[in-house]
């Protein structure tokens, strides 16, 4: 145990209608600890969660701040609905910081117990600023109103060891372990830009510490840069109404109705309780949406080897409750127990692997040409314990593999690693190198945008090809959906505020299959509504999955089944019941838009967030290579006939690829124009003063940022 | 000829909703089928015969990910 460097005693604030009214500020450079008031202004303009995070971050940084500047912060918040136990998916922690991958604000979220226990300890939000001289641990005891900052250099780096040790350290006994939650990263965060944050919860049935991840954008890299080994919160006494809701009976009633739907319908709909989000792997392949070999194609016959049935029947423990916060009947946090590791420093150990979620199977599996469930689970485990965002890792490794396949880089330049598609041994060795900060792994951890520069300047690679096949926007790697045939989703990814993550909008079925949004204006409306709606989950502390991964039996009778109106009304009712406010579904969107537009202006302030930053690599829009074109030649030829009036029979393949490209790039430009108009942005992507005024966000500091850009 | 999600699609005599879903490889479980605006419950997919000229909507209910 390291020396206690600082003790701070406080009186935990009583939570009223979802808010404690206090936030915690810690500067780890000088060990300063302060309490801040959560003001009515903050609640009105930013609601909570990610909104509070971004507001605190805005006030902490300048346009010159970079991810490793001392003033950069990690801010964690849970939102006013966070921690209620009557509805599913209410334990999300929202995290924001300036990202090492993008240099703009990143937001990411995770289940696990940290956020709710933080609030029940008296804090709506937690700001972490400064850089410590040596590794520290911060412990918050919410029952006794105590914060301790402790030296932490002797603790292990990797998450599964660290969180287990810290959970046992702070728990009084086995029964007390559920009251402890740890936030930490892993050894690879010391060496690369894609470090994640693990959020722990203790699983008393399995008797292991488990994790959910706030993975995107390098938050773990920032935590490591601040020399913070872990954040630990302990709070004993979770009960159903710690939020002191204005109307608990409504929350109970809405919750019971929802849980009955889950009980009756999940097995007929998405089987979330059996397999979690990985239920869609086969579906994605059948609809040509499963990214395969760096998004070159949308599926593969070998995907049957990594199907949901394989994981359910051979790997994942069934029949256990797998919620990552109390009261979640969706119970989708599945895991593989007693998994035997065969590589790396923990070879021979049996561990519990949290996952695999869809992104894991698609990213670490098909997108790397790997169709071996055991290899995927091993990659999954090491990504988590080393603190590596598996989405960025997978998409970045897929890029490396294609560069190698196309002769842009050599095996020697990769330090001897034979990173061809399908070689899981090489992928695992790459992960181990990233953990040790050695060899090619050290380069790979820098992400695609940096690798493109290195491959071109140092290895002589073709810059245009790398721009086309490097699946990143704004510096963040794409999440795992092939989407060439959905123009709306191309925009959903590339115009997303933080970078190409699908949590703003997933419109592929609406657009490509259902054909519900045929015009640019239709697509722009969808790219207005869904990002605004989904932003709201991050403001209040909710998980998105219960919204539409289960829907009411009569959802088909509604005017807009894709929006799941009954569940939207549930959210309105719960928000009102917790906070005592009286919002409706339109006000819900307004709450979101205030923060959405704020985040866009924040990006502009940090030097991105304009039209030039919203362009997609061509691999996102259409077929880059001859092989890609030929893989769906019938479709592409038909599009040349139908959309451009051309005769593909009399065209050379390269000409067909070029004409397809110019058409699709023009379509994307028109989509950008339509989306910008709908969102109230200039043609350069800047939120207009008029729009900011309409939504009550014409704050002087925002107007000052956009004024020179108009 | 019929319409499927606004696109032309060749009609065959005796074609049922189930036949159409199989042909189109619409394997996603979470769908809504409407023929000429009328909702077709899942238990009727095998027996509901599609007529020439019908307008079929197969809504895939996934706006998630």
- Report the distance separating Cα A242 and Cα A339, nearest Å: 37
- Closest C-alpha to A123, from A46, A216, A248, A235: A235
pLDDT at A64 (0 to 100) = 98
- How many CA within 13 A on the CB side of residue A617? 28
Instruction: List, in sequence order, every residue forming a beta bridge with A472; answer none if it has no partner.
Output: A477
- Closest C-alpha to A265, from A186, A330, A187, A218: A330
At residue A68 the predicted structure's pLDDT band, cuts being 50, 70 and 90, is: very high
Q: How many domains does chain B have?
A: 1
pLDDT tens, A355-401? 898 999 999 999 999 999 999 999 999 999 999 999 999 999 999 99
Contact B63 A506 (CB under 8 A): yes
Give the N- to C-terminal CA distance of chain A in Å, as an integer.
56
pLDDT at A271 (0 to 100) = 82
Lowest mean per-residue pLDDT among A156-165, A243-252, A319-328, A380-389:
A319-328
> Do the domains spanning A4-234 and A270-477 agree at the CATH topology level?
no
pLDDT of residue A272 exceeding 90, the answer is no
Domain boundaries, chain A: 4-234, 270-477, 510-550+582-709
- How many CA within 13 A on the CB side of residue A356? 36
Among the partner residues B6, B27, B63, nearest to A548 by beta-carbon distance: B63
Cβ-based neighbour number of residue A398 at 10 Å: 32
pLDDT of residue A279 exceeding 90, the answer is no
- How many CA within 13 A on the CB side of residue A698? 10
Q: What is the DSSP string of A34-61?
A: EEEE--HHHHHHH-STHHHHHHHHHHH-
Establish if B8 belongs to a structural domain: yes
Q: Residues A428-443: what's their mean pLDDT?
A: 98
Q: Which H or E run includes A358?
A: helix A358-360
A447 sits in the region (left: phi over 0; alpha: psi -120 to 50; else beta) called left
Per CATH, which fold does A4-234 belong to? Answer: Aldehyde Ferredoxin Oxidoreductase;  A, domain 1 (3.60.9)
Establish if B30 belongs to a structural domain: yes
Residues in chain B closer than 8 A to A268 (CB atoms):
29
Domain that holds residue B43: 2-60
Instruction: State the CATH number of the domain containing residue B45.
Output: 3.10.20.30
pLDDT at B63 (0 to 100) = 61
pLDDT tens, A507-537? 999 999 999 999 999 999 999 999 999 999 9
Largest CA distance in chain B: 37
Q: Residues A197-219: what's their mean pLDDT?
A: 96
Torsion sign over Cα B30, B36, B40, B44:
negative
Per CATH, which fold does A270-477 belong to? Answer: 1.10.569
Establish if B51 belongs to a structural domain: yes
pLDDT tens, A583-639? 999 999 999 999 999 999 999 999 999 999 999 999 999 999 999 999 999 999 999
How far are the Cα atoms of A174, A268, A456, A613 from residue A391, in angstroms, in the given order?
A: 34, 29, 24, 20
> How confident is the prediction for chain A on average, in pLDDT?
96
Q: Which residue of A has its CA nearest to B38?
A: A557
Cβ-based neighbour number of residue A208 at 10 Å: 18
Among the partner residues B27, B32, B63, nearest to A556 by beta-carbon distance: B32
ipTM for this model: 0.94
CA–CA min distance A280, chain B (Å): 9
φ, ψ (nearest 5 deg) of residue A583 = -90, 165
SS (H, E, C) A431-451: HHHHHHCCHHHHHHCCCHHHH
Establish if B65 belongs to a structural domain: no
At residue B64 the predicted structure's pLDDT band, cuts being 50, 70 and 90, is: low
pLDDT tens, A221-236? 999 999 999 999 999 9
pLDDT of residue A581 exceeding 60, the answer is yes
At residue B65 the predicted structure's pLDDT band, cuts being 50, 70 and 90, is: low
pLDDT tens, A655-700? 999 999 999 999 999 999 999 999 999 999 999 999 999 999 999 9
Q: Which two tokens stand for residue A308?
A: 């949901």
Three-class secondary structure of residue B32 per DSSP: strand
At residue A56 the predicted structure's pLDDT band, cuts being 50, 70 and 90, is: very high
Contact B62 A547 (CB under 8 A): no
Residues in chain A closer than 8 A to B5 (CB atoms):
513-515
Task: For residue A388, give every residue at least 6 positions away whose Cβ sits within 8 Å of its Cβ, in sequence order, or none.
Answer: A186, A188, A189, A192, A194, A195, A196, A382, A431, A434, A445
What CATH number labels A510-550+582-709?
1.10.599.10
């Amino acid at each position: 145990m390291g020396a206690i460097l600082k003790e701070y005693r406080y009186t935990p604030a009583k939570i009223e209608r979802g808010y404690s009214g206090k936030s915690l500020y810690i500067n780890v450079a000088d060990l300063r600890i302060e309490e801040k008031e959560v003001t009515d202004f903050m609640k009105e303009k930013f609601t909570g969660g990610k909104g509070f995070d971004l507001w605190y971050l805005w006030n902490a940084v300048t346009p010159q701040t970079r991810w490793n500047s001392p003033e950069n912060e990690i801010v964690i918040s849970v939102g006013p609905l966070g921690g209620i136990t009557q509805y599913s998916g209410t334990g999300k922690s929202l995290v924001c910081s300036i990202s090492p991958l993008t240099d703009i604000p990143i937001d990411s979220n995770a289940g696990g117990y940290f956020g709710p226990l933080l609030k029940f300890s008296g804090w709506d939000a937690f700001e972490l600023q400064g850089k410590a001289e040596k590794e520290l641990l911060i412990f918050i005891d919410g029952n006794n109103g105590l914060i301790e900052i402790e030296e932490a250099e002797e603790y292990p780096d990797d998450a599964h060891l660290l969180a287990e040790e810290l959970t046992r350290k702070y728990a009084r006994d086995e029964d007390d372990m559920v009251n402890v939650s740890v936030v930490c990263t892993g050894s690879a965060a010391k060496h690369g830009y894609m470090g994640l944050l693990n959020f722990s919860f203790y699983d008393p049935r399995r008797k292991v510490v488990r994790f959910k991840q706030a993975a995107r954008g390098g938050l773990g890299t920032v935590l490591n840069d601040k020399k913070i080994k872990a954040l630990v919160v302990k709070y004993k006494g979770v009960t159903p109404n710690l939020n002191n809701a204005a109307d608990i009976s409504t929350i109970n009633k809405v919750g019971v109705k929802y849980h009955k739907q889950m009980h009756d319908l999940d097995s007929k709909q998405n089987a979330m309780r059996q397999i979690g989000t990985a239920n869609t792997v086969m579906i994605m392949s059948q609809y040509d949406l499963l990214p395969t070999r760096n998004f070159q194609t949308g599926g593969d016959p070998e995907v049957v080897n990594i199907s949901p049935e394989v994981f359910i029947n051979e790997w994942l423990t069934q029949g256990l409750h797998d919620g990552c916060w109390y009261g979640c009947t969706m119970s989708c946090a599945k895991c593989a127990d007693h998994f035997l590791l065969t590589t790396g420093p923990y070879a021979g150990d049996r561990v519990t692997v949290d996952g695999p979620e869809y992104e894991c199977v698609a990213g670490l599996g098909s997108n790397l040409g790997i169709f071996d469930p055991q290899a995927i689970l091993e990659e999954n485990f090491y990504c988590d314990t080393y603190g590596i965002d598996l989405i960025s890792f997978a998409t970045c490794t897929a890029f490396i593999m294609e560069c190698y396949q196309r002769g842009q880089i050599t095996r020697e330049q990769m330090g001897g690693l034979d990173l061809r598609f399908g070689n899981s041994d090489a992928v695992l060795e790459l992960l181990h190198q990233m953990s040790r900060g050695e060899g090619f792994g050290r380069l790979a951890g820098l992400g695609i945008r940096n690798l493109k520069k290195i491959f071109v300047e140092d290895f002589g690679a073709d810059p245009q090809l790398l721009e086309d096949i490097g699946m990143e926007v704004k510096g963040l790697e794409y999440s795992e959906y092939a989407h060439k045939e959905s123009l709306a989703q191309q925009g959903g990814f590339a115009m997303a505020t933080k970078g190409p993550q699908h949590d703003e909008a997933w419109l592929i079925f609406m657009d490509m299959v259902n054909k519900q949004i045929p015009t640019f204006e239709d697509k722009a409306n969808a790219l207005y509504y869904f990002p605004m709606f989904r932003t709201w989950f991050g403001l209040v502390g909710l998980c998105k999955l219960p919204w539409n991964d289960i829907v009411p039996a009569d959802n088909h009778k509604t005017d807009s089944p894709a929006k799941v109106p009954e569940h939207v009304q549930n959210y309105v009712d719960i928000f009102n019941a917790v906070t005592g406010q009286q919002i409706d579904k339109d006000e819900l969107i307004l709450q979101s838009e205030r923060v959405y537009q704020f985040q866009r202006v924040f990006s502009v302030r940090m030097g991105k967030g304009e039209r030039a930053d919203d362009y997609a690599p061509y691999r996102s829009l259409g077929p880059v290579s001859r092989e890609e074109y030929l893989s769906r030649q019938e479709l592409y030829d038909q599009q040349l006939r139908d959309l451009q009036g051309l005769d593909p029979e009399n065209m050379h393949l390269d000409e067909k690829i070029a004409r397809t490209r110019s058409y699709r790039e023009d379509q994307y430009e028109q989509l950008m124009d339509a989306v910008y108009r709908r969102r109230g942005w200039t043609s350069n992507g800047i939120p207009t003063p008029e729009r900011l005024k309409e939504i009550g966000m014409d704050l002087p500091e925002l107007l000052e940022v956009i004024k020179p850009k108009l | 000829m019929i319409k499927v999600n606004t696109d032309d699609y060749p009609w065959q005599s005796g074609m049922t909703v189930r036949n159409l879903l199989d042909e189109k490889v619409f394997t996603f479980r979470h769908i809504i089928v409407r023929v000429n605006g009328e909702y077709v419950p899942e238990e009727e997919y095998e027996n509901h015969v599609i007529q020439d000229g019908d307008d079929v909507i197969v809504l895939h209910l996934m706006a998630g990910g």
